[in-house]
Amino acid sequence: MSILNLAAYRFWPIDDPLAVRLSLLEQGAALGVLGTVLVTPEGLNAFLAGEEAPCRAMLEVLRGVPGFASLEAKESWSDSMPFKRFKVKLKREIIRMDHPTIRPVLGRAPAVDAQTLARWLDQGHDDDSRPVVLLDTRNDFEVDHGRFAGTLDWRIRRFTEFPSALTQHREALQGKTVVTYCTGGIRCEKAALFMQELGVDHVLQLDGGILKYFEQTDGRHFEGRCFVFDERQSLEPDLSPARADEVIR
């Protein structure tokens, strides 16, 4: 597989999103990468694909935006291009939640890394002997492609429904270690902060989401595949694209 796929985001204030958009659009077009970059006042979110050298060069371009030197990318490979063009879009939020008080740029919720979560799931509890509850913050159709075993799935149709769903289910989460997760980490960052704001104790986010979990573990405890928003549609735990005849439709 010769096509490198990169997924990267970072919450960090961008004072002039329009200027950043124009610069990234020019440099990305010159490098010949394909995919989508979202530029927002609260940060960047990028999905890129192409030959390895230009993709890695574009990642360095993104790291050149002030405040984004530490931008990390999740990697996977495919034998075909999952995007048709290169786009840089201006958005109000990286992921819309409609709760302006939730600002990851001011500080993240505590996170758990992939290897630690896998170990907790192996042993059936966290290191303080509390039961671990996994909470999927993705949309319902994404969850249908694959999820962690025993995960809580509130069947939300869009992320803006998460706050009201939490209000209905909050009491059932008390006394447990709740780990929020999503595809790459963006939604669970906001979800974990909102849960803290509503007084839910012992909330963690899965650092890097499902994609980082696949990258750093053997994918155990995850059932099915991870839906992705490109032409690959879903990824196996080894980060290879699922066969077309196996993709849930």
CA distances 172 to 133, 168, 176, 181, Å, are 10, 9, 9, 18
CB neighbour class for 209 (10 Å; exposed up to 12, middle 13-18, buried from 19) = buried
Q: Active-site residue 188, yes or no?
A: no
The pair of three-digit structure tokens given for residue 73, joined into one six-digit string: 């990318």
Beta-carbon count within 10 A of 30 CB: 12
* Cα angle 199, 212, 88; round to 5: 90
Beta-carbon count within 10 A of 8 CB: 21
Cβ atoms of 178 and 2 closer than 8 Å? no
Closest CA to 15 of 43, 37, 34: 43
What strands lie across the sheet with 111-112, from one edge to the other? 111-112, 203-206, 177-181, 132-136
Closest CA to 92 of 83, 100, 84: 100
Q: Which of 55, 182, 188, 226 is catalytic?
A: 182
Terminal-to-terminal C-alpha distance of the chain: 25
Q: Which residues are catalytic?
A: 182
